[in-house]
Amino acid sequence: MAVQKLPLAKAINESLRVALDTDPKVLIMGEDVGKLGGVFRVTDGLQKDFGEDRVIDTPLAESGIVGTAIGLALRGYRPVVEIQFDGFVFPAYDQIVTQLAKMHARALGKIKLPVVVRIPYGGGIGAVEHHSESPEALFAHVAGLKVVSPSNSSDAYWMMQQAIQSDDPVIFFEPKRRYWDKGEVDTEAIPGPLHGARTVREGTDLTLVAYGPMVKVCLEVAAAAQEEGKSLEVLDLRSMSPIDFDAVQKSVEKTRRLVVVHEAPVFLGTGAEIAARITERCFYHLEAPVLRVGGYHVPYPPARLEDEYLPGLDRVLDAVDRSLAY
């Protein structure tokens, strides 16, 4: 059966299963990924089917997980490591930034580091501190890394396949609040390029750029705006490094207005880079400054306040109205 309707978490699970099945060098590593199947069950059943030698429960030490994954990659393996939550990645940040990202260049290209670092990220699930963050810009800023995030089940399946096949390290941000959202996955489809953006809704009046968990919000915004007679185009960026600026440029040259939406703080975020580049590329097309909607420059708030912090339907619509008012 080529087309299945799967929750996003299950789509990643299926993708990992295919990778383990087709390439004996693929390994899964992380905290609780084995018997438990991960705290979100993304690796559910994989250790049972592929054994403890391929699906490895690690000590609770993130730097150790990534550092040993680097060593395994140097030996010819293709480790897919799980960081349990976004806020837990920082003990591994040194290994990711200082070693994983730079080792290929340091070796003048003579060694490759095909490591995937999976990170469930973002808020919206009412979690405790350090479980709701969106640190993607901190990784996209680092040369040597590639950074992607799927927004739906099909992309989750295919982008994971492509990330594992990549000879570059890929930081794979999984929108945890969408883990349970179901979508169709065609396992015989021919996927688009890993780092290409996709137009998920066509429109003429304004472009919304989002990725990961915010794509769904932006589609809701576009539907609501439609009722008011405004035609919004929604672009799923899918990759934060590299960024498909050509796709954004093409859309903005048509709509002449751009709003970028992400959960991560606006300050020095992905939206800042897009705003700068698009202003440079589309200066004479723009009818309004590029606007951004995202988190504030504060620590992620306690769960009871996260709806105030996260971009939602109304805050994005407000930005759309401000842009259209120019």
Residues touching other proteins, count (CB under 8 A):
47
Print the binding letters for residues 125-164 with other proteins: x by CB under 8 A, - otherwise.
------------------xx-x------------------
Taking CB under 8 A as the criterion, the residue among 45, 71, 126, 289 binding other proteins is 71
Residues 6+ apart with CB under 8 A from 135: 86, 89, 119, 121, 264
Q: Please identify which residue in the block is written with the tokens 């990992």.
A: 16
Q: For residue 124, which of 213, 229, 12, 1 has the smallest C-alpha distance?
A: 213
* Stretch touching other proteins by CB under 8 A, among 104-112, 123-131, 151-159, 255-263: 104-112
CB of 110 to other proteins, least distance (A): 4
Site for other proteins in 165-194 (CB under 8 A): 166-168
| Nearer to other proteins among residue 12 and residue 194 (C-beta) | 194
CB of 268 to other proteins, least distance (A): 17
Taking CB under 8 A as the criterion, the residue among 1, 2, 110, 227 binding other proteins is 110
CB of 94 to other proteins, least distance (A): 7
Taking CB under 8 A as the criterion, the residue among 36, 111, 189, 305 binding other proteins is 111
Taking CB under 8 A as the criterion, the residue among 131, 195, 201, 230 binding other proteins is 195
- Residue 47 in the binding site for other proteins (CB under 8 A): no
The bridge status of strand 232-236 relative to strand 198-201 is antiparallel
* Stretch touching other proteins by CB under 8 A, among 149-157, 175-183, 238-246, 313-321: 238-246
68 with 98: CB under 8 angstroms? Answer: no
- Residue 105 in the binding site for other proteins (CB under 8 A): yes
Helices and strands (H and E) in the chain: how many: 12, 14
CB of 185 to other proteins, least distance (A): 24
134 with 122: CB under 8 angstroms? Answer: yes
| Nearer to other proteins among residue 41 and residue 277 (C-beta) | 277
State which amino acid sits at residue 44.
D
CA 14 to CA 87: how far, in whole Å? 26
Catalytic residues: 131
Q: How is residue 213 written in tokens?
A: 């968990």
- According to DSSP, residue 32 is labeled T
- According to DSSP, residue 13 is labeled H
- Residue 276 in the binding site for other proteins (CB under 8 A): no
Rg over alpha carbons for the chain, rounded to the nearest Å, is: 19
- Residue 32 in the binding site for other proteins (CB under 8 A): no
CB of 65 to other proteins, least distance (A): 9
* Stretch touching other proteins by CB under 8 A, among 121-129, 243-251, 309-317, 318-326: 243-251
Written as one string, the DSSP assignment of 121-181 is E---S---TTSS---HHHHHTSTT-EEE---SHHHHHHHHHHHHH-SS-EEEEEEGGGTT-
239 with 158: CB under 8 angstroms? Answer: no
Residues of this chain that interact with other proteins (CB under 8 A) are 53, 58-59, 61, 63-64, 66-77, 91, 94-95, 98-99, 102-113, 143-144, 146, 166-168, 195, 241-245
